Amino acid sequence: MLATSVSDPALPPGHAAEPKWDGWRALLSRDAHRLILRSRRGTNLEPCFPELRASAAQLPDATALDGELVVWDAAGRLAFERLQGRLQRRGADALRLAEQWPAHFVAFDLLRLSGSDTTRWSYSRRRAALENLFTDHRLTAPWVLCPSTTDPATVREWLTNWTAVGLEGVVYKRLEGKYEPSVRGWRKYKARETEDAIVGAFTGSPAAPRTLLLGRYNTDGRLHYVGRSTTLPQTAGRAVAGLLTPAGDDHPWRGWTFSAGWGSRESLHVALVEPELVVEVSVDVARDGAGRWRHAASWHRARPDLSPADVPVVEPGAAG
C-alpha cells in the first residue's frame, strides 16, 4: 500500500500516525519455515540480510508483514548509507556486514497471520493483531514494532524531537481503512527545514544554471559537499548566474567527480565557481553518515547579504 504526500502535519480525524523511517520498504513472510524478504519492486533481499534469516524462527509460520529495513549507527541515528551495498553482498560479505551494522525490520502492518489474510481487516484490527503478535511471541531484535498513536501531541513530539535521529516524518492511516496494494490510501508528511549553504558548482548553462552543488565548511576550513538542489526555476537560474564567479585553479573541489544521484553510477558534468554565494534551500531530514543531504534541496532564494562565514559549519572529519 502506498501514501500520498501532504503539506499539513496535523493528524487528520479518524486516523492513526506512525513514524516514517529512513530505510528500505520491504515485505516479509515466513512460509513452511522459510523466510521470504522482498523489496517493493520484488527484489529478493533475503540473502543480503542473514541476521533476519537467523531470527526468523521467532515468527509464526504463514505470516506476512509490511515494514522498513533500517540500520542504527553507534550514536543511535538511522544510517541509511549502511544499507547501501547490501544488494551486492552475499555469503561471507553479508555475514560480516550483518555483524558490523545489523539491520532491523520495523513492522508497521500485518498482511497475513498464521494463514489468515488480514488485508481486508480495518487498520485498527490489524494493528491490535500486530501488537499481540509481538507480545504473544515475545519478538525481540531484529524485529521491531513500529509505534502508532492517535494523540496529536505525540505526533508533534515525533516531528520535533525524533527528526534529530533520522526520522523522515509521519504516515497517517485511516483507522477503518483496509490494506489495498498499490493504492495511495495513506498520507505521508515529510519534515523539512530551511538551511543555508554555499554554492560551489553548478550544472547546466552559465547563463542559467540548472542545479546547484552546495557545500559547507568544516571547522578545520575544508569545504564539505552537502548536496545538490532540485532544478531551478528559469527566473532563479538567470538571477543566480549573475551572482556566480568562475573558479580559479585552487578550488577545493577541483578534480572531484560528483554522482548524478544517491546510489547512481552516472557522473555529473559540473562547472566550478568561487565558493562565495550563500543560498537558502529547503531540505528534509534524511542525512548520510557524513552529514550530506540524501535528497535534493528545494530552491528558496539567494542570500547575497550573507557571507560563507555566516553558514553553519559541519563537524571536522566529515567526508567531502
Domain C-terminal end among 141, 170, 190 = 190
Query: Out of 20, 173, 188, 190, which one is annotated catalytic?
Result: 20
User: Each residue of 26-54: pLDDT tens digit?
Assistant: 999 999 889 999 998 888 999 999 999 99
One domain for residues 212 and 305: yes
pLDDT tens string 153-188: 999 999 988 887 878 899 999 999 999 999 999 999
- Annotated active-site residue 178? The verdict is no
Q: Which range of residues forms the domain containing residue 136? A: 2-190
The answer to whether residues 127 and 171 belong to one domain is yes
The string of pLDDT tens digits covering residues 304-319 is 878 898 898 886 444 4
- Which residue has 516531528 as its cell numbers? 159
Q: Which residues contact 277 (CB under 8 A, 6 or more apart)?
A: 198, 199, 240, 243, 244, 302, 303, 304
Please write the tens of the pLDDT for every residue from 217-268. Answer: 988 889 999 999 999 999 999 989 999 999 999 999 999 999 876 556 678 9
| Residue keyed to cell 501488537 | 131
Looking at the structure, tell me whether residues 159 and 17 fall in a common domain. yes
In this structure, the answer to whether residues 103 and 227 fall within a common structural domain is: no
Total domains in the chain come to 2
Which position has the higher pLDDT, 89 or 241? 241
Domain stop point among 157, 175, 190: 190
Task: State the chain's mean pLDDT as an integer.
Answer: 91
Same domain, 52 and 117: yes
CA-atom Rg of the chain in angstroms: 22
β-pair partners for 302: 279
- Confidence at residue 264, expressed as pLDDT on a 0 to 100 scale: 61
284 belongs to a structural domain: yes
Residue 320 lies in a domain: no
Of 170, 190, 210, the one marking the end of a domain is: 190
